[in-house]
Amino acid sequence: MATAMAATSLAPILAAATFPGPDPGGCVRVARRRETAACLDPDASTSVLGIILGGGAGTRLYPLTKKRAKPAVPLGANYRLIDIPVSNCLNSNVSKIYVLTQFNSVSPNHHLSRAYGNNIAGYKNEGFVEVLAAQQSPENPDWFQGTADAVRQYMWLFEEHNVMEFLILAGDHLYRMDYQKFIQAHRETDADITVAALPMDEQRATAFGLMKIDDEGRIVDTTILGLDPERAKELPYIASMGIYVFSKDVMLRLLRENFPAANDFGSEVIPGATEIGLRVQAYLYDGYWEDIGTIEAFYNANLGITKKPVPDFSFYDRSAPIYTQPRYLPPSKVLDADVTDSVIGEGCVIKHCTINHSVVGLRSCISEGAVIEDSLLMGADYYETEDDKKVLSETGGIPIGIGKNAHIRKAIIDKNARIGENVKIINFDNVQEAVRETEGYFIKSGIVTVIKDVLIPSGTII
């Protein structure tokens, strides 16, 4: 979609807010976070439709999006970005899910069909996860122009579902959230739209261009959101997470009647809904959340899962697991290697090497003498046979994986890359930005990203 789905300021939405006191028509109310379990009636599996916006071309994540859609970008050794919102939905009993994509739709479709295609439909509950790619039609000759436009173009399909609410999600965020509490807050406050809000500190807020707002139009104190005074002092700003609950009839009316030309939810539809007097509520989410929209954010989010003693985001929560495609790979084999503060995916073969503060993706092969530091290896889509390796050896080729005595530091190595012997990918000259696509890599924010399927010849120094 043309419009990026990064977090945006809630200032336009909350401008009409008055706290506390009665809620006149048109004001935005803020729900305090509920720690009790949600009890929806009717439950989410029958009354809520999940709509995940897969994002646009993912230019800020290029070259990771060169051959795949943004939702299909690998994450955390074994997963894909799209697994996060889908898993949050399933853990929240939202089992009817559409994923809207526009670019390289084959990659997420392939993953989703294998991961969820036959696993979520139950008796009297026809759950599904389905990809809806942008398409041209006589009524809509253009591709998706933004988040709201993408939903509008498939509204004919969404309105066929007998649900109460549409849950609008982004496909490129890393977080764990119980959407049932989000939906419960929407229902209890009789809201037309509910926006998930994230408290943040001044340094992070500056990047989003946020403003403080007092109780007469600008919030200056997030204790109003339910934070204790100490926590509110640390995080005095709030931002939209880019996820929303819309009452079904409200969504239909807004996109077709009130704002038929609006392309974006965050900057057009939701502020417009507030202006025409609809009840727009902010719901506090005070947990880990990261918008994985850039190479730097993607790199930091992945390396964050190696943090000790507590990672930024954990994949080990039994009550809310992150699901993905079952691959039936063997356990990883580690032979006389020194591995510290790292995460190792399935099916890896790691020999006599050193790995520190890194994430090693599935099917990774790391040869003797290699040193991997502060890096993300995405692994491979397949294994090469012994015959394949023999032919490569005889012809001077390089097998998939990390060659002998290679040194990789602060880098992302995309899938199926062939890194030769004695290669050094260490950004020797501390370059911050560079485009070397013909040589097989990019440098963004000082992070070297090796492109998928490329070969880096033995002895190369980057």
Q: What is the DSSP letter of 268?
A: I
**CATH number for the domain formed by residue range(s) 48-306:** 3.90.550.10
Note whether 48-306 and 333-456 share their fold.
Answer: no
Fold of 333-456: UDP N-Acetylglucosamine Acyltransferase; domain 1 (2.160.10)
Which position has the token pair 């995405």? 378
The token pair at 286 is 């005070």
**In the chain, domain spans:** 48-306, 333-456
A 10 A CB-CB count for 137 gives 9
pLDDT along the chain (462 residues), means of 10: 33 31 36 56 91 80 89 92 94 92 76 76 67 65 73 90 94 93 93 87 61 38 56 71 93 92 86 87 88 92 92 90 92 96 96 97 96 97 90 90 97 97 95 95 96 96 95
Quote the CA–CA distance of 429 and 457 in Å, as a whole number: 19
Q: What is the pTM of this model?
A: 0.84
Quote the CA–CA distance of 202 and 197 in Å, as a whole number: 15
The token pair at 101 is 């994509």
- 58: nearest Cα among 39, 73, 48, 43: 73
Which position has the token pair 């709509």? 51
pLDDT at res. 24: 32
pLDDT at res. 220: 38
The token pair at 8 is 């945006």
Quote the CA–CA distance of 203 and 208 in Å, as a whole number: 10
- 360: nearest Cα among 325, 398, 334: 334
pLDDT at res. 148: 86
Quote the CA–CA distance of 354 and 374 in Å, as a whole number: 12
